[in-house]
Amino acid sequence: MNKKLKPAECTTILVGKKASLDGSTMIARSEDGGSEIIPESFVVVNPEQQPESYQAVISGQKIDSVDLLANPLRYSSVPDTSGKHGTWAAAGINDATVAMTATETITTNARIQALDPLLEEGGLGEEDFVTLTLPYISSAREGVKRLGYLLEKYGTYEMNGSAFADQDEVWYIESIGGHHWAARRIPDDAYVVAPNRLNIDEFHFDDPDNYMCSADLLNLIEKYHLNPDTDGYNLRHIFGSATVKDAHYNNPRAWFVHKYFDDEWQGNPGDQEQPFITYAKKKISVEDIKFLEGSHYQETEFDPYSTTNTAAQKKLFRPIGINRNFETHILQIRNDVADGLAGVQWLGYGTNTYNVFVPFYTNVTTTPASFMTSPSLDLSQIFWLNKVVAQIADTNPRLYGALHQVYEEKTTAALRRIEWQTDAEVADLVGQDLQAKLAQANQAMADLTMTKTQALLEEMLKAGHTKMTLKYDLLD
């Protein structure tokens, strides 16, 4: 069976609690695909809906009943709507206020593939990871251990990176070969940008508080002489790649993020040695991440929308914001509100350059219908509406980009207002009373987003009406 049914070439951004504007932890990822449009939905999986038996659709791998633990937690999810290739739950926050995103497609090299090949038959992958991990963990650290256990026991057929967060910690884990893995805790005052390459660099095997890995990883490195460095361990050097494709497809995205947070950042877009752990010169906001996930090398010679650069420059590097963004999330675990309000899943559909992110509370049992996408075109659903907006906007970014900028700023402000008012109004509520109020707030935010986006589309149609080529006027 072809296991590469859905390319998921994403961009991950992670932020520690002391690096964020409001003291929250944040893990974000754009879920990107290939040329086929892949509709994405937003649902809550309640405990009774969690499968009691599991078999992967893509690989056929069956999960032992002992690994489907009793009493699963409720969790949010952004699955593929069709389900024909499996669930692909992608990201969510569970009832213990633990966030997970999976996965970032990453690279490898021939040395580790010779020793621990990716599986040709069976194994788990992006299709499965959230469904088999998120409902069974109560901390980010537990998430790393459970996913690591699943990788060792069942193996994988692809190289992937995943992230976990709770109110205190952010962790990033990467698969290595068919059955190995390594993870690093992100320092509280740091951020990470992880494009589609193996990203973890510096690694300390004697520091379990901040680093974890499969039990025999160090022995594997030493036994087979895998470490090219004379001092220390750099997992990107040992297990990763440094190819021409990395220099054009992956590294420039990291470079642009670093330049955004530090305008004195040194180096070139293609540099292979850009660090995994980085420190911003300012506190990082949700709005910063939103801009970066929709960025396309603005104010550089590599912007595809530039009117002054060459055709070759426009196509030189892969931007973060791209037509193949189908769903993007920022999983925010807040520390300045009551526990029942801490989990917020900022969610945007379609090309991030032309959408808006909505801050949905995850302590709910259902989601708004306009964000529960159908497989076919339906303009009463935000996924499809955003696709139409983006494809029109791309034809004249100067004209439509100005309209979108006003739309995004005003809509985000209105959504923030609903969130902050709700935080204050429900501060003393718990249990089902709290969940009911949060569901009402989510519905209000979904309705507002639909109304504002429909109004944007109307303004775009009015602005573009006289710009059509197929026109004739006696006064022309």
Active site residues: 10
Cα Rg, the chain, nearest whole Å:
22
- Please name the helix (run of DSSP H) or strand (run of DSSP E) that holds residue 192, with its range, or none: strand 191-194
Centroid of chain to Cα 182 = 19
Q: 122-142 burial by CB neighbour count: b if 16+ within 10 A, else e?
A: ebbbbbbbbbbbbbbbebbbb
In single-letter form, the type of residue at position 423 comes to: D
Place of tokens 């980010």: 140
Helix (H, G, I), strand (E, B) or coil at 44: strand
Of residues 324, 370, 328, the one with CA closest to residue 347: 328
User: What gap in Å lies between CA 194 and CA 15, rounded to an integer?
Assistant: 12
Distance CA 281, CA 37 (A): 37
Task: Please provide the DSSP assignment of 195-210 as one string.
Answer: -SS----B--TT-TTT
The sign of the CA dihedral 336, 133, 195, 411 is negative
Residue 16 CB burial class (10 angstroms; 0-12, 13-18, ≥19): buried
Q: Categorise residue 90: left if φ over 0, alpha if ψ from -120 to 50, beta otherwise.
A: left
Name the β-bridge partners of 339: none
Asked if 363 and 434 count as a contact pair (C-beta separation under 8 A), the reply is yes
CA distance 183 to 171: 7
